[in-house]
Amino acid sequence: MWYAVYEKLTGKLYSTGTVLSDKIKPEFEVKELGENFDERGLVWDETNKQFIPDTRFQDILNSVLNLPGIVKLTITEKANLKKLVEKIMKGELIW
């Protein structure tokens, strides 16, 4: 199981991991993240105290897809490029 440890008052993320201390200080809370948690492409939302998609990835992807040479590609070529860029940004593929 993966866990997130964060400050109760601020929602600031303190740590994530699979090992949980049995001595969590009272100012912290623990949230279970699941067995197969992967934070690539996610950011911690202090307000809602959860991980959410990182919109910066979409901004980068849109910038790449709108480059002058790229806009001339076919729909299929753009779709393939989009998949490739998404994999790179999520750390699934090293460029």
> Would 94 be classed as within a structural domain?
no
Cβ neighbourhood burial of 78 (10 Å; 0-12, 13-18, 19+): middle
Q: Is residue 85 part of a domain?
A: yes
Q: Residue 32 in contact with residue 1, Cβ under 8 Å?
A: yes
| 82 and 43, same domain (yes or no) | no
Rounded to a whole number, what is the largest CA-CA distance in the chain? Answer: 58
Does residue 10 contact residue 22 with C-beta atoms inside 8 Å? no
> Are 47 and 6 in a shared domain?
yes
DSSP state letter for 17: E
This prediction has a pTM of 0.65
pLDDT tens column, 57-91: 778 888 888 888 888 889 899 889 888 877 777 77
Model confidence band, residue 95 (pLDDT cutoffs 50, 70, 90): low
Decide if 34 is inside a domain. yes
- Same domain (yes/no): 73, 41: no
Range of the domain at 43: 2-53
pLDDT in tens, 5-42: 999 999 999 999 999 988 999 999 999 999 999 887 78
List, in order, residues 6 or more apart from 35 with CB less than 8 Å away: 1, 2
Residues 33 and 64 occupy one common structural domain:
no
27 and 47 both lie in a single domain? yes
Residue 22 lies in a domain: yes
Q: Is residue 46 part of a domain?
A: yes
What pLDDT score was predicted for residue 69?
Answer: 86
